[in-house]
C-alpha cells in the first residue's frame, strides 16, 4: 500500500550507539522492501555544518546562542527536502534531531529548555523517537570519548537528564546497554509498526 513515509528519529547521548543502530535499521528496512533514507544532524557538509564542525573540534570559538541557532538552521536547511521525501513515501531514519539541540544547549549555564526549543518549533514532527538510553558512565566506558567539545562525562550526565525531560508520547526508551542485536530487534519492531500506521496521517509540526 502506498502512503507517506515515516519520520523516525534516533536520539541519545554521545556513544549510545546511534550511528551503528541507524545503519543496521536502514539495511534491515531496505531488505524488507521499504523506501528509506538515513540522515544525520548536524549535517557537517553545508555552510552552517562547517561552522558547527569547526566549533565542535575547537577550531573556532562561538557564542553559545549562536551555536544553538546554527544547529537549528542546519536542520531547517533540510526541512523541505525531508517533507518532499516523506510525501513521496520515503521513510527517514534521522540520527539526532531537535531533541539533541535542546538537550545539549540547555546543559550549559544560563539556558532553559524552553528557550532552547524555540528555534526548532515547526519542524516536521517525528512519528517515532527511539531514545537509546545509556548512563553517562556506561557511555564513557565504551572505548572513551573523542576530542569533541561536549565529550565529558559531567556534561553528558546533564544532557541525559535533559533528554528525559523532553520525552513525549512518540518516544520509545530503549535500553542501550543490551546487546547490539537486541537493541536492533527492539528498534526494528517499533519502526515496522509505525511505518504501517502513519500512511494515512498528516505530518505534524514539532512542539506546536
- List residues binding ligand TMP (CB under 6 A): 14, 41-42, 56, 71, 96, 100-101, 104, 148, 150
3-state SS of 135-147? CHHHHHHCCCCCC
Q: Minimum CB separation from ligand TMP for residue 56, in Å?
A: 5
Choose among 185, 158, 159, 153: nearest CA to 172.
185
Q: Minimum CB separation from ligand TMP for residue 200, in Å?
A: 30
- Helix or strand run (H / E) with residue 132: strand 128-133
The residue among 4 and 162 lying less far from ligand TMP, judged by its C-beta, is 162
Return all residues near 86 (Cβ < 8 A) that are at least 6 apart. 4, 5, 6, 7, 92, 124, 203
Residue 117 CA, chain-centre distance (Å), reads 14
Sign, Cα dihedral of 119, 173, 93, 88: negative
The residue among 91 and 100 lying less far from ligand TMP, judged by its C-beta, is 100
Cis peptide before 42 (omega within 30 of 0): yes
- Helix or strand run (H / E) with residue 91: strand 91-95
Q: Minimum CB separation from ligand TMP for residue 1, in Å?
A: 33
The residue among 14 and 125 lying less far from ligand TMP, judged by its C-beta, is 14
The residue among 146 and 168 lying less far from ligand TMP, judged by its C-beta, is 146
Q: Minimum CB separation from ligand TMP for residue 150, in Å?
A: 4
The residue among 28 and 145 lying less far from ligand TMP, judged by its C-beta, is 145
Q: Minimum CB separation from ligand TMP for residue 165, in Å?
A: 16
Amino acid at each position: 500500500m502506498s502512503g507517506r513515509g515515516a519520520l523516525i528519529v534516533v536520539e541519545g547521548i554521545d556513544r549510545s550507539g546511534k550511528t551503528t543502530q541507524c545503519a543496521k535499521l536502514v539495511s534491515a528496512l531496505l531488505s524488507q522492501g521499504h523506501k528509506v533514507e538515513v540522515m544525520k544532524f548536524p549535517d557537517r557538509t553545508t555552510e552552517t555544518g562547517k561552522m558547527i564542525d569547526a566549533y565542535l573540534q575547537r577550531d573556532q570559538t562561538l557564542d553559545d546562542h549562536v551555536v544553538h541557532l546554527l544547529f537549528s538552521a542546519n536542520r531547517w536547511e533540510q526541512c523541505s527536502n525531508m517533507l518532499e521525501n516523506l510525501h513521496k513515501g520515503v521513510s527517514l531514519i534521522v540520527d539526532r534531531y531537535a531533541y539533541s539541540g535542546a538537550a545539549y544547549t540547555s546543559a550549559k549555564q544560563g539556558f532553559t529548555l524552553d528557550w532552547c526549543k524555540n528555534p526548532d518549533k515547526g519542524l516536521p514532527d517525528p512519528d517515532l523517537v527511539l531514545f537509546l538510553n545509556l548512563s553517562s558512565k556506561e557511555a564513557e566506558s565504551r572505548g572513551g570519548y573523542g576530542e569533541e567539545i561536549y565529550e565529558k562525562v559531567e556534561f553528558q550526565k546533564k544532557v541525559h537528564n535533559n533528554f528525559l525531560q523532553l520525552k513525549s508520547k512518540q518516544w520509545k526508551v530503549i535500553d542501550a546497554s543490551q546487546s547490539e542485536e537486541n537493541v536492533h530487534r527492539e528498534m526494528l519492531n517499533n519502526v515496522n509498526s509505525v511505518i504501517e500506521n502513519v500512511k494515512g496521517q498528516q505530518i505534524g509540526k514539532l512542539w506546536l
